[in-house]
Structure 1
Amino acid sequence: IMAGEAVVTVRLVRSFEHRNFKPVVFRGVDLEQNVEDFINYVRTDVATRAGLPPPFKKFGYDTLKIIHQAHGAKTNELVMSLEDDDTLILRPGLTLAAAGVANETEMAFFSGKDYGLFKANPETVW
């Protein structure tokens, strides 16, 4: 891995209520690219990636949030923490590095609208 390139895991979250997610690993991620560019890259990759069920390929993902960093404490939440959105949600206009992404960072990729609804009423169903 070259300097500025990282391995990151992106959890594609289709449903918070049903804890429905799939982790996808990306290698050689340029941490100097903008958040928007990475979001577009992941969307394109996921839409064409072999082995992912169709509902995951076509979902309206629009928000990335850091779940945990390498060597950091993992959250006990099954999908992701509902805390610290101000610091952990990746903001457009920043580079991945500036947003806090480093090698071996794990992120969730989800619909911001769904997240808002779930956060207002964080019930999980089985």
Structure 2
Amino acid sequence: MEQLSNTARPKTSATLTLRIIKSFEFRTERSLVLHNINLETTTVGQLKDIARTAIATQLGWKPYRNVVLDTLKLYTKAHGAKTTNLIINLDHDDWILEDESEFLANLDLENETEVSVFNRELYSQFQANPQTNWDC
């Protein structure tokens, strides 16, 4: 039997996709792929810092630099079901990674997990009124 991609790499060298969300309303999102993340030693807080540093220093991220990115939420795991909402899964608020000191492996993150990174206040506003304006 063929090995699934989420178990093909050890937890000490995982690839994660961070879905950096600028606007829920306009469905403005860009993916940041991180390689060789040690899920056993990287905390939620460190993952936020990695994302912020990449946005601040890498080319092409200037439009995202004015957004306060303060929250992480599990979007999907490899081979798992995805939400029908294209920007973020509005259910499962228990998937929000709130404990900054928790190791990613303890939160069951694995290779090829997708994590949304966003502003919590904007998320709460969108959750209350999930209307999009992407047709404009």
TM-score by length of 1: 0.91
> Residue 34 of structure 1: which of 43, 48, 58 is its match?
43
2: CA distance between counterparts of 1:2 and 1:101?
Answer: 11
Moved over 3 A (4+): none
Q: Please name the residue that 2:82 is paired with.
A: 74
2: CA distance between counterparts of 1:10 and 1:50?
Answer: 16
Q: Please name the residue that 2:103 is paired with.
A: 95
Does the aligned pair in 1 maintain the 2:11–2:105 contact within 8 Å? no
- Structure 1, unaligned runs of 5 or more: none
Larger radius of gyration: 2
1: CA distance between counterparts of 2:50 and 2:66?
Answer: 14
CA RMSD of the aligned region, Å? 1.4
- Structure 2, unaligned runs of 5 or more: 1-8
Deviation at 1:2, TM superposition (A): 5.3
> Residue 15 of structure 1: which of 8, 15, 23 is its match?
23
Aligned to 2:107, the other structure's residue is in SS state: coil
- Paired letter, 1:47: A
Aligned to 1:97, the other structure's residue is in SS state: helix
* Percent of residue pairs bearing the same amino acid type: 38
Aligned to 2:105, the other structure's residue is in SS state: coil
1: CA distance between counterparts of 2:88 and 2:70?
Answer: 16
